[in-house]
């Protein structure tokens, strides 16, 4: 079928909204009519060349929609179901689905980040451009498109009363932030947490830390305008690290904690390697945990002083919050319905697919938390 999609054609250039061909769902796959898609920093990282990925690619990986066709053998979802399009599968059967240390199911082949390390998994393109070339997708689906294919074990069915625009954001920003606090760092009650970068992911780290019972949640961003929204999501303190005015981050932390110059947990959600170094330097040298959530430029490098980790401090990475995709999405939907987490305030702009480049610009400039593309 012919569908409209926003296609990455050349690094540094705007996406092109054009007609592409989408094949029929094969066994185990479903066809989803996309109803909403958030725009994420990772989409910008492909568009501007930070992630050096060959075009053409249908971007968008934070979507929700309605199942309109199912392939052979699909029983877990039916036509008419509303679903969140997850970014990693959860087949529930493979060794990795049974391994509590990773969320990357062996079936994660529709994901250009994991395909190179999951050799059993094959990327099967499903979009073709007008000139007949395969267009890949960054993650499992291309959600900057009116329709997309996805494997049935990579979607989470949701109640029909959840607005698509809010459901969409759970697929990346929400699960990444909340997952990082629960399934990567295991934030504990009474702990102190620092969050660098107050975008959608950072705000979700904040609300994840709050659910986990952290009592000090320090938000850090170089834009003062982020303070109000950070506090709305549960931050107890805010620091603009570009305006320390003679103080140091350690002395500011000592003021907040009443003595200690170190926090228990830090989350780096900017993708800047210099910020990652700072995050590591402010967690406790004996027990502090840092999670590198943001994805840095692929050619960048990071250095730490030799003894940085010698006493027990740890640094780890995550992809989508190290959260088992369907299991944790269901948990997040429960928290959402119970009013424990907020999603709507993340949405700062509502756009059409034709306006995708405007949304990318707003996000890149820090003027938007989440621009969302809405489809009819």
Among 8, 22, 25, 42, binds Zn ion (CB under 5 A): 42
Among 44, 91, 112, 118, binds Zn ion (CB under 5 A): 91
Q: How many chain residues touch Zn ion (CB under 5 A)? A: 7
Check residue 152 for interaction with Zn ion (CB under 5 A).
no
Check residue 140 for interaction with Zn ion (CB under 5 A).
no
Of residues 129 and 137, the one with the C-beta less far from Zn ion: 137
Of residues 26 and 99, the one with the C-beta less far from Zn ion: 99
Q: CB of 171: closest distance to Zn ion in angstroms?
A: 8
**For the chain, how are helix, strand and coil distributed in percent, rounded to 5?**
30, 25, 45
Of residues 263 and 323, the one with the C-beta less far from Zn ion: 323
Q: CB of 320: closest distance to Zn ion in angstroms?
A: 8
Among 3, 32, 105, 150, binds Zn ion (CB under 5 A): 105
Question: SS3 of 155, please?
Answer: strand
The answer to whether 6 and 34 have CB atoms below 8 angstroms apart is no
What does the chain come to in residues? 376
Check residue 373 for interaction with Zn ion (CB under 5 A).
no
Q: CB of 168: closest distance to Zn ion in angstroms?
A: 11
| Interacting residues of 106 by C-beta distance below 8 A, sequence separation 6+ | 91, 94, 95, 96, 97, 118, 120, 121
Distance CA 337, CA 190 (A): 25
Q: Which of these segments, 16-24, 88-96, 116-124, 211-219, binds Zn ion (CB under 5 A)?
A: 88-96
Q: CB of 120: closest distance to Zn ion in angstroms?
A: 11
- For residue 239, give the nearest of 247, 254, 227 by alpha carbon: 227
Q: Tokens 């850090």 appear where?
A: 220
Q: Tokens 């989470």 appear where?
A: 156
| Interacting residues of 334 by C-beta distance below 8 A, sequence separation 6+ | none
Residues 286-305 binding Zn ion (CB under 5 A) are none
- CA 201, distance to chain mean position in Å, is 6
Strands 63-70, 57-58: parallel, antiparallel or unpaired by DSSP?
unpaired
Check residue 169 for interaction with Zn ion (CB under 5 A).
no
Q: CB of 105: closest distance to Zn ion in angstroms?
A: 3
Binding site for Zn ion (CB under 5 A): 40, 42, 91, 94, 97, 105, 172
């Amino acid at each position: 079928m012919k569908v409209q999609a926003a296609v990455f054609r050349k690094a540094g250039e705007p996406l092109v909204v054009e007609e592409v061909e989408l094949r029929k769902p094969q066994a185990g796959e479903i066809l989803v009519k996309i109803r909403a898609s958030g725009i994420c920093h990772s989409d910008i990282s492909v568009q501007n060349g930070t992630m050096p990925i060959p075009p053409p690619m249908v971007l968008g990986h934070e979507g929700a929609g309605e199942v309109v066709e199912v392939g052979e053998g699909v029983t877990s979802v039916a036509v008419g179901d509303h679903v969140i399009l997850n970014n990693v599968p959860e087949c529930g059967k493979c060794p990795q689905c049974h391994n509590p240390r990773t969320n990357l199911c062996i079936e994660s082949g529709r994901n250009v980040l994991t395909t190179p390390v999951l050799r059993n998994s094959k990327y099967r393109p499903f979009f073709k451009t007008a000139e007949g070339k395969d267009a890949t997708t960054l993650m499992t689906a291309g959600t900057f498109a009116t329709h997309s294919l996805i494997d049935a074990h990579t979607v989470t069915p949701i109640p029909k009363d959840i607005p698509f625009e809010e459901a969409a954001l759970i697929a990346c920003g929400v699960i990444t932030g909340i997952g990082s606090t629960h399934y990567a760092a295991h934030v504990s009650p009474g702990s102190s947490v620092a969050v660098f970068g107050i975008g959608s992911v950072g705000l979700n780290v904040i609300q994840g830390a709050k659910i986990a019972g952290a009592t000090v949640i320090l938000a850090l961003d170089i834009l003062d305008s982020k303070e109000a929204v950070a506090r709305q999501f549960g931050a107890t303190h805010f620091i603009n690290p570009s305006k320390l005015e003679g103080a140091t981050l350690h002395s500011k932390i000592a003021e907040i904690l009443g003595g200690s110059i170190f926090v228990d947990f830090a989350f780096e959600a900017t993708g800047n390697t210099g910020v990652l170094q700072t995050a590591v330097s402010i967690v406790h040298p004996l027990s502090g945990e840092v999670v590198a959530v943001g994805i840095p430029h692929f050619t960048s490098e990071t250095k730490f002083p030799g003894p940085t980790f010698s006493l027990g401090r740890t640094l780890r990475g995550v992809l989508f919050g190290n959260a088992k995709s369907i299991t944790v999405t269901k948990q997040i939907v429960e928290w959402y319905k119970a009013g424990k987490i907020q999603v709507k305030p993340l949405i700062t702009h509502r756009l059409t697919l034709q306006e995708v480049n405007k949304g990318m610009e707003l996000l890149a400039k820090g003027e938007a938390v989440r621009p969302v593309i809405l489809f009819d």
